[in-house]
Amino acid sequence: MIVDDHPVVRDGLRGMLDADGRFTVLGEAGDGREALAVADAVCPDVVLLDLRMPVLDGVSTITELKARGCAARVLVLTTYDTDTDVLPAMRAGATGYLLKDTPRDELCRAVAAAHRGESVLSPAVAGRLIDRLRSPGQEPLTQRELEVLALIARGCSNKEAARRLFVSEATVKTHLLHAYAKLGVRDRAAAVAVAFERGLLGPR
């Protein structure tokens, strides 16, 4: 399945994969929420996924797919290789992370490898992960984690936050757990307090 908010990119990827006899493109989606519906309908083995999309971003889409028990391998294909893009995607459960300048043959090999359950990383991304391991630092919260914390700070329950963000309650809990780990806290109240102290949520 191909998930990207640019039709021309989806068309190019479909043509590339259709030309390789090993693959069949079962479906396409232009945003994360649509991707969840299509994945439920076609049950793909591999999902080629962009990160920055409208409605539901790539990391939230990966998290929600996992929460729903989707067995598809998710191979991120994007133009972004910063720590704030790579690390959350891998933590959410992506099998691999490639950049959109990846040559055709390498992309096809990566899709096949992802189907086998092998981790696939572009050289630039692999280098970033190695550098991060060598010099760990404080990891920033993702935009979705900040959105969840902001709703919690306003008094929303996990269920209400899930409804407003169009995700499952399990996904909200996952974002909260990631936020707790990054902020060094163990509960909602402490997470909100520390987020305000660091200026992540703005003034009270």
Instruction: Tell me what pLDDT residue 190 has.
Output: 87
| Alpha-carbon span 22 to 108, nearest angstrom | 9
| Alpha-carbon span 51 to 80, nearest angstrom | 8
Instruction: Tell me what pLDDT residue 123 has.
Output: 81
95, 117 Cβ separation under 8 angstroms? yes
Q: How far is CA 180 from CA 77, 111, 158, 173, in A?
A: 28, 33, 15, 10
Instruction: Tell me what pLDDT residue 135 has.
Output: 53
Look up the pTM and report it.
0.69
Mean pLDDT by groups of 10 residues along the chain of 204 residues: 96 95 96 96 97 91 93 93 78 90 92 92 76 62 92 93 92 90 86 87 69
Instruction: Tell me what pLDDT residue 194 has.
Output: 87
